[in-house]
Each structure stands twice: as structure tokens, then as C-alpha cells.
């Protein structure tokens, strides 16, 4: 298991609903959980995230929580291909925030290409799944 140096831990209304979305629809797996604390640790390759349910366990809340909870942040997740996730979300009837696109981003003297799309999780956190197209 990779030991990432940054693991976001978004607060969610329901760990069960969020785990279903992240795992069943987006391909993550539960590495471990503590249901009695409303907590689950998920991974998809080297992308890791911890989900913590509001009102259960130990919440660190710095201000009033108002939906959507994910305002102002998107989580970029590198995947080998976006198509399987897009298809899974479509079958589930889950609306995409942004349809798949091909995008080239300037990086110094070159560009890096990605296929990407955006989707919101049950609490409004914005997930940006990307598959690399390489450099040019």
C-alpha cells in the first residue's frame, strides 16, 4: 500500500451513501473502516480519501456546514481511463457536472494532455477524474 503524504478527509452526511458512490460508481475500494465512528478509508490506485460522517465520531468543524459541502475545491483523481467510470455513472443515472473533454494544459515549455470529466458526490464535493494523454 502506498503511504500518500496528503489524504483529504471530507465530512459527509452519510458514510454509507458516500461509500456507495465512491466505491460502487467510481471504482474506489474500502481499505478499512470504523462504522461506529462513521469513518471509511478509501483508495483507487494511489488516490486516497477518508470519509467522515458529520455528528458521528470526532469531527473537526471550523465553521457552519451548509450544502453543498464541497464549495471551492475539486479533487483531481488520476485513473487509467475515464470511460468505465463515466459509463458506471450513466447506468446509475448520476448526472455529470462536466461532460468528458480532452484538454491540454501548458506546463512551462510544454503541455500535458488529459481526458477528464467532473462529477459531484452526494455531498457536493467535486471530483475531477483524469486519464493522461502524455506530454507534447
Q: How would you write the pLDDT of the chain (136 residues) with one tens digit per residue?
A: 668 889 999 999 999 999 999 999 999 999 999 999 999 999 999 999 999 999 887 788 777 888 888 888 899 999 999 999 999 999 999 999 999 999 999 999 999 999 999 999 999 999 999 999 999 9
Q: Are the beta carbons of 74 and 129 closer than 8 angstroms? A: no
> Would you call 119 helix, strand, or coil by DSSP?
strand
pLDDT score for 59:
80
Whether the CA torsion 78, 80, 85, 86 is positive or negative: it is positive
Q: Is 128 exposed, middle or buried (0-12, 13-18, 19+ CB in 10 A)?
A: middle
Q: What is the pLDDT of residues 65-100, one digit of tens each?
A: 888 888 888 999 999 999 999 999 999 999 999 999
pTM: 0.88
Q: Which residue segments constitute the domains of the chain, with CATH numbers given?
A: 11-60+70-135 (3.10.180.10)
pLDDT score for 3:
82
Q: Where are the beta strands (DSSP E) in 94-136?
A: 98-107, 110-120, 126-135
pLDDT score for 5:
85
Q: Are the beta carbons of 89 and 37 closer than 8 angstroms? A: no
pLDDT score for 1:
63
Amino acid at each position: 500500500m502506498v503511504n500518500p503524504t496528503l489524504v483529504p478527509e471530507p465530512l459527509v452526511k452519510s458514510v454509507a451513501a458516500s461509500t456507495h458512490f465512491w466505491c460502487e460508481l467510481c471504482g474506489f475500494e474500502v481499505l478499512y473502516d470504523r462504522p461506529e465512528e462513521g469513518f471509511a478509508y478509501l483508495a483507487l490506485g494511489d488516490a486516497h480519501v477518508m470519509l467522515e460522517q458529520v455528528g458521528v465520531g470526532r469531527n473537526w468543524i471550523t465553521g457552519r456546514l451548509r450544502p453543498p459541502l464541497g464549495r471551492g475545491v475539486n479533487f483531481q483523481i488520476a485513473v487509467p481511463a475515464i470511460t468505465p467510470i463515466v459509463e458506471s455513472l450513466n447506468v446509475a443515472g448520476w448526472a455529470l457536472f462536466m461532460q468528458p473533454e480532452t484538454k491540454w494544459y501548458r506546463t512551462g515549455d510544454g503541455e500535458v494532455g488529459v481526458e477528464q470529466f467532473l462529477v459531484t458526490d452526494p455531498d457536493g464535493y467535486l471530483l475531477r477524474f483524469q486519464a493522461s494523454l502524455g506530454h507534447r
